[in-house]
Amino acid sequence: MNKTEKIKREPLFHIVNRGRDAIPWWKGMLIRAAAIVFALAVCAVIMVILTKENPIEIYKTMFDGAFGTERRKWKLLQEIAVLLCISLAVTPAFKMQFWNIGAEGQALVGGLATAACMFYIGGKVPQGMLIIIMVAASIVAGAIWALIPAVFKAVWNTNETLFTLMMNYIAIQLVDVFVNIWAKNGSAVLSPMSEYGLPIIGDKKYLLNVIIVAALTVGMYIYLKYSKQGYEISVVGQSEKTAKYIGISVKKVIIRTMLVSGAVCGIAGLILVGGTNHNINTNTVGGNGFTAIMVSWLAKFNPIFMILTAFMIVFLDLGASHVTAMFRISSDICDIMIGIILFFIIGCEFFINYKLKFRSFGKGGEAK
């Protein structure tokens, strides 16, 4: 070792786990807010370098893209509702440490069931009856799609991540098959069956969707936190051995929880097909099944926080696409921006869980 290096110095800083001494929630919020401000500042610099546009203008446009008009506001709410609905669906499974990444497929199958009802029995039964059948069919379809990997996991301990992922592709192909059967003249595009959709409240096309998801959010929060089944999910998720020790049937909980997870995905499909598009294609869920995983994790599986995380992601998405259109800049730049903002928001969790202790200057001094 080099002699000159041998000067006795403390390292510049240490990383200390806050552990038992967790910081108060408001400080955590402050750190998160600071992270967003930093992220916006960094984005601004990068934007100036890459596009030479005024970053303030870009942010304004972003805001405008999300909230600018009545229609945009409703669009924002609708997108949040769909994303939030699927996020709520994956949450009980995640809490149980069952990595359900098949929400995309489960929602798509729910949507397919809704579309099938509209196509085959639309107009043949009273509209009220049709809606009841549609709701039931979508829930059952989503639940079955989730039940299959759950049973395999519970009985043969198969890997649920691969299984649910593969179920997505089957769902997509199924939709493709049915669209080709249903579509007229081999156009492979289904025309909207708007007359058989879910009812519209007043003239607000998306209001019913928003109400359904709001009710689901509260319901899921209560289910996870205050119900006996929610408690069992937590126990199984944290320690299967403890669950067995107190007599919980782990198999039963896995299957039951995935049924709940799939059923809520099915409702998301119902909202998308019955309440919004009135038709279906392979891209109807549009990747929300995967984005939902992030929404759920970022909110630490708390349904109420999920409203915030879902809002944040949808806001960035809508805002960025508006910016792309208005400034005629590449959408890649907007993706970079979204990436930076998410990096800061996720990265700031580190500072909430750990603190940096800097070198104390002068012997005997205490670093705080």
Partner 1 sequence: MDKKIALELKGITKVFGKITANNNVDLDVYKGEILALLGENGSGKTTLMNMISGIYYPDSGQIFVDGEEVIISSPKDSFKYKIGMIHQHFKLVDVFSAAENIILGINDGKKYSIAETNARVLEITERYGFNIDPKKKIYEMSVSEKQTVEIIKVLYRGADILILDEPTAVLTPQETEKLFAVLRRMRDDGKAIIIITHKMHEVLSLTDRVAVLRKGEHIATVNTKETTVSELTEMMVGKKISLNIERSEPKNSCDRLVVSNLNCVSHEGVKILDNVSFTARSGEILGIAGIAGSGQRELLEAIAGLQHIDSGKILYHNPKNDEVVDLRDKTPLQIRDLGVRLSFVPEDRLGMGLVGDMDITDNMMLRSYRKGHSIFLDRKAPKNLAQEIIKSLEIVTPGTSTPVRRLSGGNIQKVLVGREIAAAPSVLMAAYPVRGLDINSSYTIYNLLTAQKERGVAVIFVGEDLDVLIELCDRILVIGSGKVTGIVDGRNAVKEEIGVLMTKTTSIDEENGGVAI
Inter-residue contact 321 to 62 (CB < 8 Å): no
CA separation for the pair 95, 301 (Å, rounded): 7
Inter-residue contact 164 to 149 (CB < 8 Å): yes
For partner 1, which is the closer residue by CB, 169 or 245? 245
- Residue at token pair 């769909």: 82
For partner 1, which is the closer residue by CB, 146 or 243? 243
Nearest distance, CB of residue 347 and partner 1, angstroms: 23
- Residue at token pair 């891209």: 283
CA separation for the pair 6, 62 (Å, rounded): 54
For partner 1, which is the closer residue by CB, 70 or 366? 366
Nearest distance, CB of residue 243 and partner 1, angstroms: 9
Hey, which residues does 354 pair with through a beta bridge?
17
Q: Name the CA dihedral angle for 54, 55, 57, 58, rounded to a multiple of 10 degrees.
A: 120
For partner 1, which is the closer residue by CB, 231 or 350? 231
Read off φ and ψ for residue 356, nearest 5 degrees.
-95, 130
For partner 1, which is the closer residue by CB, 119 or 297? 297
Nearest distance, CB of residue 101 and partner 1, angstroms: 23
Q: Is 14 left (phi over 0), alpha (psi -120 to 50) or beta?
A: beta
The contact set with partner 1 (CB under 8 A) reads: 8-11, 14, 18-21, 226-231, 234-235, 238-239, 241-242, 244-247, 249, 357, 360, 364, 366-367
Nearest distance, CB of residue 214 and partner 1, angstroms: 21
Nearest distance, CB of residue 86 and partner 1, angstroms: 25
